[in-house]
Each structure stands twice: as structure tokens, then as C-alpha cells.
Amino acid sequence: MKWDELGTEDCPVARGLSVIGDRWTMLVLRDCFLGIRRFDDMQSRLGITRHVLADRLRKLETSGVLRREKYQDRPERFEYRLTERGKALYPVLISLIAWAEDNVPAPGGSSLRLVSRETGEEIAPVLTDARTGQRITHRDVRPITRP
């Protein structure tokens, strides 16, 4: 399968990767979740070229993950805000953070802690089934493909 055809695949992993599957996109989304909305702020934080950032933002906007909102007329400038589709990626980001902390630890310790807004206590994210509340692992679920 070709990279630019992933969005039309039957496989949900391929379709998801067609939106968030390059090396910069999740970092752009991380910054959006941290409240960074302006192009220049993203560009300076990420150290990404303007061209690449503009391309990623355009793709996320086209995919319905981000929306542009004008905040200045002259010169015309926009902020990038998460849509509901974009906000739905939050568990993916949290899962990636938890996986990296467990499997690719930073040599000097992590620069990030996940804490509850309500209690301020550190959280330990897990994937659970919304219907049963049971933890989901590779041993608990069997994907079934359609014929």
C-alpha cells in the first residue's frame, strides 16, 4: 500500500496513520494540547522548518483535527485549535506518553508528569473497556477481521 492511500484502507490502523502517522504530527498535537496555538510559537518550540509545519497544520486542518481561527487582520494571522476530532486524540497522546515512560525512559528523568487536575496527584493511565471498566491488554482482546 502507498503512503498517500492509507486513508482509504479498510484497516483502522492504516486510516489513523494517514492522519497522525508522520514524525512531526504528534508533536504538533502535543503542543496544541499544551495550549500552544500560534504558528510562530509552534515553530520555535519544535525547531521544525516553516514549510514542514505549514504542511502538517494544513493536513490536520483538512483532516478535521484542527481548525484555524483568525486572531489578527493585518497581517492576517491564525491560531490553530483542536476540534472535537482532535480532542478525541488525547487518549492516544496519553498512551504514547505512558508507553515511552515505561519503555524509552529519558536518561535524566522525564520532563513531564501526568497529574489529576482535581487532586494534583500523579496518575497512571491504563486502557479500559467503557462497558465493563476492565483493563484492556493484548491478552484480553482479540481483533476479528471481516471476511
124 found inside a domain:
no
* pLDDT at site 20: 85
| 130 within a domain of the structure (yes/no) | no
Q: Distance between CA 50 and CA 45 in Å, rounded?
A: 12
The structural domain count of the chain equals 1
Q: Is residue 15 part of a domain?
A: yes
The pLDDT of residue 4 is 58
What are the grid coordinates assigned to 16, written together? 489513523
Domain that holds residue 54: 3-88
pLDDT of res. 33 = 96
**What is the predicted pLDDT for the residue at 145?**
85
Q: Kindly list the averaged pLDDT for each block of 10 residues, start to end, along the chain of length 147.
A: 55 80 92 96 96 96 96 93 97 92 87 91 92 92 85
CATH of the domain at 47: 1.10.10.10
Quote the pLDDT of residue 2: 53
Within-domain flag for 128: no
The answer to whether residue 13 sits within a structural domain is: yes
- 51 in a structural domain: yes
What pLDDT, on a 0 to 100 scale, did the predictor assign at position 1? 59
